[in-house]
Amino acid sequence: MKEKIADIRGQIEADAGQLNSPEAVEAFRIRYLGKKGAVTLLFKELGSVDKADRPEVGKLINELRALTTEKMNGAAAQAGPIRSKDWIDLTLNGRRPAIGRKHPLTIVAEEFRQIFARLGFSVAEGPEVESDYLNFEALNIPKLHPARDMQDTLYISDELVLRTHTSPVQIRTMMTGNPPFRVIAPGRVYRRDTLDASHSPCFHQVEGLCVDKGVSLGDLKAVLSTFSKQMFGANTKVRFRPSFFPFTEPSAEMDIWWESSKGGRWLELLGCGMVNPRVLEGVDVDPAVYSGYAFGLGIDRMAMLKFGIDDIRTLFENDMRFLEQF
């Protein structure tokens, strides 16, 4: 028995030199102090030792257990705890959650809304599938009128179109209320336009409509100039060009000077004008008492101007490298 104890002691001392990982320490504990460990088994064998020798042998085994425990604790302090699979290092920095961003179109549309809220405009809405009547006829564009060609339309049926502009919301607003009106109407519109750097077949507009007593072209220019400076900065250059829309008289287009990586040029941002008296009559607003102005602006163009985006297509491609810049 004493020899056996000496053997095991030798093994313990040899093994204790190798305990360089928490797993090795644990294996050492099991090998010697576990239920069937070598030292544990020695205690069980003590019963069969001669009574006379038992105190001495017992003492030796006790010493061996103390030695094993001491070696094990010393190595464990060096090797640290076992890292289980769900072990967490509380000292590491947290992982930052990926936070989404607003799309550039949303950013400019929201800013637009805020600027016009300060100017006293509320928000109106209309459907993307619109009646031919509201998209065209009520806006003084009868069937076969050449002005329809400019908006080469996507028809759902003879009487239903994917709206080509947000102008039908002017009519919807005036049909369901009484003047004064002061609304903006943002939304998606569709045209059979060929895709290029500044045109998309599906794009976004905001309509503006103001009808009240004594509204003049001066009000229109003042509101649009104020808006341009608030949206694009105090030094923004704008120009108004005479134009034609059947639902406004006179009509104009407003361009903004556009600096992009490819140089500078005027970019058409919106169409506008004084609401045609025929349109007012059609919705039972007396043009002898009321006058108004309206405008329709491309939100995509506004985002391009605001952020120096030189191709409208990037707004719809959902390339994360592009979207993460905003």
Binding footprint of ligand FA5 on the chain (CB under 6 A)? 165, 167, 191, 193, 199-200, 203, 205, 245, 248, 251, 268-273, 294-298, 300-301, 312
Q: For residue 251, how many other CB atoms are within 10 A of its CB? A: 18
Task: Write the DSSP symbol of residue 193.
Answer: P
Q: CB-wise, 15 or 207, nearer to ligand FA5?
A: 207
Q: CB-wise, 19 or 269, nearer to ligand FA5?
A: 269
Least distance between ligand FA5 and beta carbon 186 (Å): 12
Q: In what helix (H) or strand (E) does residue 247 lie, and over which residues does it extend?
A: none
DSSP string, 122-181: EE----SEEEHHHHTGGGT--TT-GGGGGG---BSSSSEEE-SSSTHHHHHHHHTS-S-E
Least distance between ligand FA5 and beta carbon 120 (Å): 18
- Cβ-contact 230, 113 below 8 angstroms: no
Q: CB-wise, 200 or 291, nearer to ligand FA5?
A: 200
Task: Write the DSSP symbol of residue 276.
Answer: P
Q: Two tokens at 305?
A: 């101007």
Q: CB-wise, 75 or 124, nearer to ligand FA5?
A: 124
Q: In what helix (H) or strand (E) does residue 93 lie, and over which residues does it extend?
A: none
Least distance between ligand FA5 and beta carbon 90 (Å): 53
Residue 35: strand, helix, or coil = coil
Task: Give the separation between CA 286 and CA 288, rounded to whole angstroms.
Answer: 5
Least distance between ligand FA5 and beta carbon 210 (Å): 11
DSSP string, 83-131: --TT---TTSPPPPP------HHHHHHHHHHHHHHHTT-EE----SEEE
Residues 6+ apart with CB under 8 A from 1: 45, 49, 53, 57
Q: Residues 73, 79, 85, 88: is their CA dihedral positive or negative?
A: positive
- Cβ-contact 314, 322 below 8 angstroms: yes
Q: For residue 219, how many other CB atoms are within 10 A of its CB? A: 16
- Cβ-contact 174, 292 below 8 angstroms: no
Q: CB-wise, 53 or 125, nearer to ligand FA5?
A: 125
- Residue nearest ligand FA5, Cβ-based: 298
Q: CB-wise, 32 or 247, nearer to ligand FA5?
A: 247
Least distance between ligand FA5 and beta carbon 85 (Å): 54
Q: CB-wise, 64 or 256, nearer to ligand FA5?
A: 256
Q: CB-wise, 69 or 225, nearer to ligand FA5?
A: 225
Q: Residues 12, 15, 17, 20: is their CA dihedral positive or negative?
A: negative
Least distance between ligand FA5 and beta carbon 295 (Å): 5
Least distance between ligand FA5 and beta carbon 115 (Å): 17
User: What type of residue is 6?
Assistant: A
Least distance between ligand FA5 and beta carbon 169 (Å): 10
Least distance between ligand FA5 and beta carbon 279 (Å): 10
Q: CB-wise, 94 or 146, nearer to ligand FA5?
A: 146
